[in-house]
């Protein structure tokens, strides 16, 4: 298998990289491990070396460093800060993902990637849970849900929110708010994993089938909008599906914070004042990769007494450690990154830590026991719904 | 006990690596070196260590002396002359973990920082204070304090405040033998001025105490376009004589394709140039400066640009390498030239670009009214091996010409070491005296600055280097 997956532009970019190192200190993995090979600059240099040696068989012809290099590719949160910081505007994130795909095809990816792929392709969720139980969250939380043949809005719940006990409150909150507004909305009769984990891990073989299924089902429902509380699912619909399917989708894709922002600006939603200081953690896939930075802040600004910005926020927000499948490929580093981020959020002195991603919430909560005085972490949808007395 | 075991006992296993992948990742700096030349040197370190304290650095140096093992200190490796690249393998000392602000005396404006601290982080730290840096490098977003000190210390701010060494109170240096020594301008046998620019061959800059400058109440960037290069140079020279801005930069032929043009004359209307910079002072001084600047520019047919454009240009000062997008490779050679010979150097760079069919852009940073840091960027393509090899002669030619104008190479490292004697004969003699005194075992960053020592154990003779590059240059003219 050759490395034809890399585009001409990407092969060029490897040589365009100035090795200036402006990206280095922004890489959370470099920050944690401190070795040059873990930094974006270091990886580009190693790639260049491999390309120079034998460009047509990138990994197989460079066996002395290939396996360790591939490990570096998967020791990455795919948070995209390197791309954001690159003044040569190299799309490094896309390069890392393409290289992961190459590694998967050549059988060099970590076992955990294969396991994830197998798990996901079967029951169509990342946890390998029974697909029939995907909607059980509604029973557990008592949420009032709708499953209709036709609807204006489809609420795409996502795997983490559907199956991970702690995150199910997000689904409860979102459905409660949609009902409160009186939207004509529905869940999908058969929601499959969005497939984003496949795309980000490079295990893309089964991705098209998933994209086809989800898009066809939604278009059949005549929906004008898909809303999700998961930034990864939103990215899949907005960026990955059109690329994989080779066409535009017939519906708008929004993250729930964007919808909340619209409701508030249109006067459809009034949230009672919360007398507390709140800090907001930007999920990478929502803020930097999805461009949704102001909306959650406007939502918070409409009802909280004080918003305290943490260090490294907005488009330069810092990864919680759960991105890029790092939890599966290197759980120790993932946990360290979560600790570092939670420490930053706690340092703001805010009463509440909020975010807008079930995976971020989960990562931060998982390490919160290491901070005896850590503030509670709550998803923005949950914060709004509870403040309104809807949950 | 093996080297690895010894340093692991000293630092712990998580800060020591002998992984081949890691060693490759540390075997270079910013410059892509043609393979045929690179293989003359053993740039692959045997081991990489990441000390977190000056004591650990000293400990590693003591081990290196005991084992007679070369040590290459490395900051962010944003220089392009091989100063942070091993030439004989050995220990690579990654100093980026030493990145703390040690102390800040707000009353006196004294800041003590470790050598691995990044300049931009220091600038951000000072934002919250009433002090600012007197000088910082054009690669401030990643380059380290120790790296800048080791490579000369001229940058933005030098025009107003001099070199970094002029603004250093003291240095907590680690000598090649592993001894620590406080060095200040009154030190007995070695001074900061002798250690500065020694390119990691005389000491490791453990900590530096910097004298900051008070933040002025007002400041403004400035920018003007010129159709004629000569006018731009005249304005710049007059401006730095009459006023003293914090920084003044002249950029010639920004993205102009040299290979499409003819030879350049000073009146070449197509050449184009911009000057931009930053002035700080009282509100009255700033206003007066901007008025003077606008008048000078207009008098010479230039076009003063609005403040928002000037702000944008100033905010872009850390990104001259954006031009690489058109490369993909950039060849450069920083030289210091007398400001009254600048036009001649710029014309020469243009001519070299024409001869080599290479696009060229020239950045010039005034570091004093009389001296300019001349920084040309030639676009090339390292993937076209032979052509790139012929282009590499450009750096030599520029240094040769700079010397004839009364200038010199800004740094030496491996690739420019042949020019040290001709560039700065007195300083080289002084270095050569100090080196054996400070580094009796010759372990600290050997095989560079004074010489270019190959993996075969001998130093490349200058005539061989000169002959090789000149031959390549001539061959390049035929292809």
The rounded percent of chain B whose pLDDT value lies above 90 is 79
- Subunit contact A25:B35, Cβ cutoff 8 A: no
Best residue in A18, A54, A66 for a mutation probing chain B (most B CBs within 10 Å): A18
Residue A2 placed within a domain: no
Q: How many domains does chain A have?
A: 3
Examine the pLDDT at B141 and tell me if it is beyond 90. Answer: yes
Residue A326 placed within a domain: yes
Residue A51's pLDDT band, with cuts at 50, 70 and 90, is confident
* Contacting residues of B for A46, CB less than 8 Å apart: 21, 24-25
If one counts every other C-beta atom within 10 angstroms of the C-beta of residue A250, the result is 11
SS3 (DSSP) at B93: strand
pLDDT confidence of residue B254: 61
Domain that includes residue B141, residue range: 101-214
The complex's ipTM works out to 0.94
Residue A139's pLDDT band, with cuts at 50, 70 and 90, is very high
pLDDT confidence of residue B269: 38
Residue A3 placed within a domain: no
**Domain shared by A123 and A257, yes or no:** yes
**Domain shared by A22 and A54, yes or no:** yes
| DSSP per-residue string spanning A336-362 | HHHHHHHHHHHHTT-SEEEES-HHHHH
**Domain shared by B189 and B230, yes or no:** no
Measured between alpha carbons, how far is residue A40 from residues A97, B181, B322 in Å? Answer: 13, 36, 17
| DSSP per-residue string spanning B234-266 | HHHHHHHHHS--SEEEEEESTT--GGGS----T
- Subunit contact A68:B21, Cβ cutoff 8 A: yes
- Which residues, including other chains, have CB under 8 Å from residue B384's CB and lie 6 or more apart? none
pLDDT confidence of residue B357: 86
How many angstroms separate the CA atoms of B107 and A6, rounded?
A: 56
Residue A29 placed within a domain: yes
The rounded percent of chain B whose pLDDT value lies above 70 is 96
Domain of B124: which CATH number? 3.30.465.10
Segment B366-389 shows an average pLDDT of 93
**Domain shared by A299 and A224, yes or no:** no
Residue A76's pLDDT band, with cuts at 50, 70 and 90, is very high
**Domain shared by A243 and A283, yes or no:** no
- Continuous H helices in B300-376: 307-315, 342-356
Of the three residues A109, A138, A163, the one that is the final residue of a domain is A109
Residue A299 placed within a domain: yes
If one counts every other C-beta atom within 10 angstroms of the C-beta of residue A349, the result is 9
Examine the pLDDT at B289 and tell me if it is beyond 90. Answer: yes
* Cα dihedral value B127, B133, B138, B139, nearest 10: -70
Provide the shortest C-alpha distance from residue B20 to chain A (in Å).
Answer: 7
Q: How many residues does this entry show for chain B?
A: 479
- Which residues, including other chains, have CB under 8 Å from residue B404's CB and lie 6 or more apart? none
How many angstroms separate the CA atoms of A378 and A355, rounded?
A: 7
Of the three residues A83, A109, A135, the one that is the final residue of a domain is A109
Whether the CB-CB separation of A231 and A290 falls below 8 Å is answered with: yes
Of the three residues A82, A109, A136, the one that is the final residue of a domain is A109
For the stretch B187-203, what's the b/e string if a residue is b when 16 or more beta carbons lie within 10 angstroms of its beta carbon? beebebebbbbbbbbbb
Of the three residues B353, B384, B409, the one that is the final residue of a domain is B409
- Subunit contact B327:A37, Cβ cutoff 8 A: no
Numbered residues of chain A with Cβ closer than 8 Å to any chain B Cβ = 12, 15-16, 18-22, 24-25, 34-37, 42, 45-46, 49, 52, 64-65, 68-69, 72, 87-89
State chain A's mean pLDDT as an integer: 95
Number of C-alpha atoms within 13 angstroms, CB side, residue A102?
A: 25
Q: What tokens were used for A158?
A: 């996502």
Residue A3's pLDDT band, with cuts at 50, 70 and 90, is low
Domain of A181: which CATH number? 3.40.50
**Domain shared by A232 and A296, yes or no:** no
**Domain shared by A240 and A305, yes or no:** no
**Domain shared by B349 and B468, yes or no:** no
pLDDT confidence of residue B264: 47
- Subunit contact A45:B25, Cβ cutoff 8 A: yes
Residue A37 placed within a domain: yes
Examine the pLDDT at A220 and tell me if it is beyond 70. Answer: yes
Comparing CA positions, the residue from B135, B170, B139 lying closest to residue B155 is B135
Examine the pLDDT at A248 and tell me if it is beyond 60. Answer: yes
**Domain shared by B317 and B256, yes or no:** yes
What pTM value is reported for the model? 0.94
**Domain shared by B353 and B256, yes or no:** yes
Residue A105 placed within a domain: yes
Element (H, E) at B372: strand B371-380
How many angstroms separate the CA atoms of A147 and A188, rounded?
A: 6
Residue A192 placed within a domain: yes
| Choice among A56-70, A296-310, A339-353 with the minimum mean pLDDT | A56-70
**Domain shared by B364 and B306, yes or no:** yes
- Subunit contact A20:B30, Cβ cutoff 8 A: yes
Please give the DSSP secondary-structure letter assigned to residue A309. Answer: P
Which of A319 and B326 is assigned the larger pLDDT?
Answer: A319
Which bin fits B333, alpha (ψ -120 to 50), beta or left (φ > 0)? Answer: beta
State chain B's mean pLDDT as an integer: 92
**Domain shared by A148 and A127, yes or no:** yes
**Domain shared by B72 and B169, yes or no:** no
- Which residues, including other chains, have CB under 8 Å from residue A118's CB and lie 6 or more apart? none
Q: How many domains does chain B have?
A: 4
Comparing CA positions, the residue from B49, B42, B50 lying closest to residue B86 is B42
Q: Chain B, 8-27: which have a CB under 8 Å from a chain A CB?
A: 15, 17, 19-22, 24-26
How many angstroms separate the CA atoms of B51 and B376, rounded?
A: 36
Domain that includes residue A100, residue range: 8-109
Q: Which of A16, A34, A64 sits opposite B20 (nearest CB)?
A: A64
Segment A95-112 shows an average pLDDT of 94
Q: What is the pLDDT of residues B407-458, one digit of tens each?
A: 999 999 998 999 999 999 999 999 999 999 999 999 999 999 988 989 888 8
Domain of A301: which CATH number? 3.40.50.11810
Whether the CB-CB separation of B118 and B146 falls below 8 Å is answered with: no
Q: What tokens were used for A362?
A: 């989960």
How many angstroms separate the CA atoms of B303 and B291, rounded?
A: 13
Examine the pLDDT at B262 and tell me if it is beyond 50. Answer: no
Of the three residues B409, B434, B456, the one that is the final residue of a domain is B409
- Subunit contact A20:B78, Cβ cutoff 8 A: yes
Of the three residues B97, B113, B138, the one that is the final residue of a domain is B97
Domain of B251: which CATH number? 3.40.462.40
Provide the shortest C-alpha distance from residue A8 to chain B (in Å).
Answer: 13
């Amino acid at each position: 298998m050759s490395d034809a997956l890399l585009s001409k532009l990407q092969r060029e970019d490897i040589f365009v990289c100035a090795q200036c190192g402006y990206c280095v200190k922004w890489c959370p993995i470099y920050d944690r491990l401190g070795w040059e090979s873990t930094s974006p600059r270091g990886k580009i240099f190693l790639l260049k070396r491999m390309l120079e040696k034998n460009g047509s068989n990138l990994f197989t012809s460079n066996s002395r460093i290939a396996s360790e290099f591939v490990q570096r590719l998967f020791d990455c949160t795919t948070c995209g800060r390197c791309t954001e910081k690159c003044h040569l505007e190299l799309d490094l994130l896309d390069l890392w993902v393409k290289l992961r795909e190459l590694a998967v095809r050549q059988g060099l990816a970590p076992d955990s990637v294969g396991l994830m792929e197998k798990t996901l392709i079967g029951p169509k969720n990342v946890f390998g849970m029974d697909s029939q139980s995907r909607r059980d969250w509604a029973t557990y939380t008592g949420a009032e849900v709708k499953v209709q043949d036709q609807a204006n809005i489809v609420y795409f719940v996502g795997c983490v929110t559907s199956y991970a006990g702690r995150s199910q409150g997000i689904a409860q909150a979102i459905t409660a708010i949609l009902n409160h507004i009186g939207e004509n909305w529905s869940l999908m009769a058969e929601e499959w994993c969005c497939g984003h984990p496949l795309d980000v891990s490079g295990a893309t073989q089964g991705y098209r089938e998933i994209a086809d299924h989800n898009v066809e089902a939604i278009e059949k429902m005549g929906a004008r909008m898909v809303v999700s509380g998961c930034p990864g699912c939103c990215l899949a619909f907005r960026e990955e599906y059109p690329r994989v399917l080779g066409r535009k989708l017939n519906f708008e894709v929004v993250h729930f914070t964007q919808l909340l922002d619209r409701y508030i600006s249109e006067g459809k939603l009034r949230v009672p004042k919360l007398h507390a200081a709140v800090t907001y953690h930007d999920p990478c896939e929502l803020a930097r990769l999805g461009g949704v930075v102001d909306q959650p802040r406007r939502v918070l600004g409409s009802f909280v007494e004080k918003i305290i910005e943490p260090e490294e926020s907005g488009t330069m927000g810092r990864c919680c450690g759960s991105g890029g499948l790092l939890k599966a490929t290197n759980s120790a580093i993932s946990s360290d990154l979560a600790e570092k981020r939670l420490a930053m959020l706690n340092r703001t002195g805010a009463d509440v830590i909020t975010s807008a991603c079930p995976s971020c919430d989960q990562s931060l909560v998982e390490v919160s026991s290491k901070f005896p005085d850590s503030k509670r972490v709550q998803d923005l949808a949950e914060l709004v719904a509870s403040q309104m007395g809807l949950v | 006990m093996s080297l690895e075991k010894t340093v692991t006992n000293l630092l712990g296993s998580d800060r020591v690596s002998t992984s081949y992948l890691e060693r490759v990742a540390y075997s270079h700096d910013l410059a892509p070196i043609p393979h045929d030349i690179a293989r003359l040197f053993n740039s692959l370190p045997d081991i990489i260590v990441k000390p977190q304290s000056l004591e650990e650095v000293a400990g590693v140096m003591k081990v290196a002396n005991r084992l007679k093992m070369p040590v290459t200190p490395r900051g962010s490796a944003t220089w392009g002359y091989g100063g942070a690249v091993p030439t004989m393998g050995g220990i690579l000392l990654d100093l980026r973990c030493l990145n703390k602000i040690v102390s800040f005396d707000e009353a006196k404006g004294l800041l003590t920082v470790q050598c691995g601290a990044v300049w931009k982080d220091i600038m951000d730290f000072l934002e919250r204070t009433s002090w600012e840096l007197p000088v910082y490098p054009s690669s401030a977003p990643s380059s380290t304090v120790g790296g800048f000190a080791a490579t000369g210390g001229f940058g933005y701010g030098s025009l107003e405040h001099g070199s970094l060494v002029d603004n250093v109170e003291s240095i907590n240096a680690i000598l090649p033998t592993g001894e620590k020594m406080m060095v200040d301008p009154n030190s007995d046998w070695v001074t900061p001025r002798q250690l500065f620019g020694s390119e990691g061959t005389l000491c490791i800059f453990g900590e530096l105490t910097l004298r900051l400058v008070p933040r002025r109440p007002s400041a403004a960037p400035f920018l003007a376009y010129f159709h004629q290069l000569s006018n731009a140079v005249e304005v710049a020279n007059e401006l730095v004589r009459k006023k003293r801005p914090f920084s003044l930069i002249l950029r010639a032929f920004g993205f102009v394709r040299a290979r499409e043009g003819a030879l350049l004359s000073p009146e070449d209307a197509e050449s184009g140039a911009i000057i931009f910079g930053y002035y700080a002072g009282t509100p009255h001084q700033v206003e007066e400066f901007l008025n003077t600047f606008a008048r000078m520019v207009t008098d010479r047919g230039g076009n003063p640009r609005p403040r928002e454009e000037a702000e944008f240009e100033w905010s872009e000062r850390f990104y001259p390498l954006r031009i690489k997008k058109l490369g993909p490779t950039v060849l450069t050679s920083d030289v210091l030239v007398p400001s009254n010979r600048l036009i001649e150097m710029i014309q020469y760079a243009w001519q070299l670009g024409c001869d080599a069919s290479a696009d060229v852009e020239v950045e010039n940073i005034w570091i004093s009214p009389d001296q300019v840091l001349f920084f040309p960027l030639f676009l090339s393509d390292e993937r076209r091996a032979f052509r790139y090899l012929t282009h590499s002669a450009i750096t030599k030619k520029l240094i040769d010409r700079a010397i004839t104008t009364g200038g010199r190479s800004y740094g030496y490292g491996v690739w420019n070491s042949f020019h040290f004697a001709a560039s700065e004969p007195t300083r080289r003699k002084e270095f050569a005296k100090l080196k054996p005194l400070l580094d009796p075992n010759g372990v600290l960053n050997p095989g560079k600055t004074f010489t270019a020592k190959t993996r075969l154990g001998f130093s490349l003779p200058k005539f061989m280097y000169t002959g090789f590059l000149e031959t390549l240059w001539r061959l390049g003219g035929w292809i």
